[in-house]
Structure 1
Amino acid sequence: MKFKEIDVTKSSGEKVRFSLDKLRNSLSKSGASKTVIDQILNSVRDELYQGISTKEIYNRAFALLKKQNSHYASRYKLKKAIYEFGPTGYPFENFVSAVLKYSGFNTKVGQILQGKCVTHEIDVVASKNGNTIIIECKFHSEEGRNCNVKVPLYIASRFKDVKTHWDLKPQETDLNECWVVTNTRFTEDALKYGKCVGLHLLSWDYPKGDALKDRIDRLGLYPITVSTLLTNREKQFLLSRDVVLCRDLIGDSFYLDHLGVSETRKQNILKEVKTLCNS
Structure 2
Amino acid sequence: FDRQKVVRTCLRMHATPEQAQLVADKVVEQMYDGITSKKILQLVFHNLGKHRPELKHQIDLREAVAKLRPKPDFEKFVGLLLQEYGYRIFMNQIVDGSCVNHEIDVIAKNDDEVLYVEVKHHLQHHTFTGLGVFLEANSTFEDLNGGKLNFSKAMVVCNTKISDHARRYGECRGIRHIGWKSPEDKGLEQMIEEKKLYPITILKGMSPVVEARLGDAGIVLLKQLAVKDIKALAKSTGVPTSVLQELALSADEILR
**Which category of TM-score, normalised to the shorter sequence, fits these structures?**
0.7 to 0.9
1:140 Cα offset (Å) = 0.6
Q: Distance in 1 between matches of 2:11 and 2:59?
A: 9
- Who is 1:207 aligned against? 183
Of 122-131 and 146-155, more deviation after overlay is shown by 122-131
State whether residues 91 and 244 of structure 1, in contact with CA within 8 Å, keep that contact through their aligned partners in structure 2: yes
- Who is 1:146 aligned against? 128
- SS of equivalent to 1:205: coil
- Against the structure 1 CA distance between its residues 269 and 68, is the aligned structure 2 distance closer, same or farther, given a 3 Å change threshold? farther
Query: Structure 1 regions of 5+ residues with no counterpart?
Result: 1-17
- SS of equivalent to 2:68: coil
Q: Distance in 2 between matches of 1:273 and 1:118?
A: 43
- Against the structure 1 CA distance between its residues 232 and 83, is the aligned structure 2 distance closer, same or farther, given a 3 Å change threshold? same
Aligned pair 1:125/2:107, yes or no?
A: yes
- Against the structure 1 CA distance between its residues 82 and 153, is the aligned structure 2 distance closer, same or farther, given a 3 Å change threshold? same
Q: Distance in 2 between matches of 1:74 and 1:82?
A: 16
- SS of equivalent to 2:161: coil
Amino acid aligned to 2:66: Y
CA deviation string 1:40-79 (max 9, x = no partner): 4344334433332212222333244446544245677222
Correspondence 1:103-252 to 2 at 5 A: 103-129=85-111, 131-166=113-148, 174-252=150-228
State whether residues 32 and 72 of structure 1, in contact with CA within 8 Å, keep that contact through their aligned partners in structure 2: no
Amino acid aligned to 1:51: G
Aligned pair 1:59/2:39, yes or no?
A: no
State whether residues 31 and 72 of structure 1, in contact with CA within 8 Å, keep that contact through their aligned partners in structure 2: no
Rg (Cα) greater in structure: 1
TM-score calculated relative to the size of structure 1 = 0.79
Of 154-163 and 96-105, more deviation after overlay is shown by 96-105
1:244 Cα offset (Å) = 0.6
State whether residues 79 and 89 of structure 2, in contact with CA within 8 Å, keep that contact through their aligned partners in structure 1: yes
Aligned pair 1:32/2:37, yes or no?
A: no
Query: Structure 2 regions of 5+ residues with no counterpart?
Result: none
Aligned pair 1:259/2:239, yes or no?
A: yes
State whether residues 83 and 141 of structure 1, in contact with CA within 8 Å, keep that contact through their aligned partners in structure 2: yes
- Who is 2:250 aligned against? 272
1:236 Cα offset (Å) = 3.1
- 1:92 counterpart (74, 83, 86): 74
1:106 Cα offset (Å) = 1.9
State whether residues 178 and 200 of structure 1, in contact with CA within 8 Å, keep that contact through their aligned partners in structure 2: yes
State whether residues 125 and 159 of structure 2, in contact with CA within 8 Å, keep that contact through their aligned partners in structure 1: no
Q: Distance in 1 between matches of 2:23 and 2:87?
A: 40
Q: Distance in 2 between matches of 1:245 and 1:19?
A: 31
Aligned residues: 252
Give the aligned CA root-mean-square deviation in angstroms: 2.5
Q: Distance in 1 between matches of 2:128 and 2:226?
A: 33
Amino acid aligned to 2:250: E
CA deviation string 1:123-178 (max 9, x = no partner): 11122226321100111111321011222112101110011113xxxx6xx42111
- SS of equivalent to 2:92: strand
State whether residues 30 and 75 of structure 1, in contact with CA within 8 Å, keep that contact through their aligned partners in structure 2: no
- Against the structure 1 CA distance between its residues 74 and 175, is the aligned structure 2 distance closer, same or farther, given a 3 Å change threshold? farther
Q: Distance in 2 between matches of 1:175 and 1:246?
A: 32
Aligned pair 1:23/2:6, yes or no?
A: yes
State whether residues 78 and 226 of structure 1, in contact with CA within 8 Å, keep that contact through their aligned partners in structure 2: yes
TM-score calculated relative to the size of structure 2 = 0.86
Q: Distance in 2 between matches of 1:154 and 1:223?
A: 27
1:25 Cα offset (Å) = 1.2
Identity %: 25
